[in-house]
Amino acid sequence: MSSLLHDRPASTPAMLAVFGDAALLRAALLFEAVLAEAQVTEGLIPLEVGEAIVAACVELPDVEDLAEAAAHAGTLAIPLVQILRQRVAARHGDAVAALVHKGATSQDLADTALVLQAKAGAALIRDEAARLAQVLAALAETHAATPMLGRTLLQAALPITFGLKVAGWLQGVDEALMRFDIEAATALRLQFGGATGSLAGLDGKALAIAERLAARLDLALPAKPWHAQRGAIAGLASALAILIGAVGKIATDIALLAQTEVAEAFEPKVAGRGGSSTMGHKRNPTGCQVALSAALRAPHLAATLLSALPQEHERGLGGWQIEGPVLADLFQLAHGALAVMAPVIEGLEIDVERMAANLAAAGLGNDTGESEALVARALDAYRKDR
């Protein structure tokens, strides 16, 4: 059973829904329905058979029963296809039911369903990352000339402006989002290859069916099935981890600036948030906590998918099967981190006088170098990217 008490503090309802049980089943059933429609169009199965299969894909099966059956079978596809065949057989007989899932394999269903979920998740990631980038750009512009103490190796260094620090945050998020878009464009593609990736058993019409599948599902069509080539999934996971790390960098800096001894910037005050169960005076950076927790988890999740790259022969054992839950975790953590950090930046409380006092106490002068010009260049680059 999923646990909202475990998952919700780290993510958002929207992303949890994208990778929830109902969404997975809808994606899997969509694959089967569209496969039947494509086979009808190519004359591989009769129209009435295709209509029967599509009708069988409308109602979601019971999740708990299906989960138990999938655990026993070793894959979701086996019990799900069995349910569809039972539904078709009840109205049209066993011969018609046997045409459900024709020419496909369990990994085709699993991979394409995961990609469809990732596609929906990617749209949420882009929206939230764009929101964060916009508020970072506005903050950098506002404080392009605000002097503060620059710190290296956690020690006082030379003066900078707060706008330059924020421009660095913006650069990290913007570059990570561009990397994510590149990896998503590669990874969001159809998987359809049949038992061994040779597209056997479809009377020479498999390529035409694959083209129709990809078009109908709005996914890219790869040159060949990618059952045992998992680099695109690993690349997408790595891009998510890097994006989470970029948000974690922002959270780290804000948490350090909010320390009592520094007191230069604080998360916005929100009723019921950031307090302590025993110390009423505390103002904890709760949004930073969420983002930093995600940044600690993400690298190890991405490494799991990198470790699964050497898969055996035409379809591997154990490697691709781990990708669904791990990729879901990365999407959920990324969206959770982005979603908490945007309002933190929007309402960030900045003590300009404290920044000036800390800078004066360090006795390092007031020369901020080319900070303002660098902020302007960073903002120009960001706006050009958009």
Strands (E), 132-277: 147-152, 155-161, 265-266
Which candidate in 2, 198, 276, 307 is catalytic? 276
Q: Which tokens belong to 295?
A: 């940044």
> Alpha-carbon distance 242 to 188, whole Å?
18
Nearest 5°: phi and psi at 159? Answer: -65, 145
The 8-class DSSP code of residue 349 comes to: E
Amino acid at 239: A
Three-class SS of residue 356? helix
Under 8 Å between Cβ of 100 and 44: no
Which candidate in 315, 354, 383, 386 is catalytic? 315
> Alpha-carbon distance 164 to 247, whole Å?
16
> Alpha-carbon distance 108 to 113, whole Å?
8
Per the annotation, the verdict on 276 as an active-site residue is yes
The Cα-based distances of 303 to 60, 110, 150, 240, 292 in angstroms read: 34, 21, 33, 12, 18
> Alpha-carbon distance 338 to 18, whole Å?
16
Residues annotated as part of the active site: 276, 315
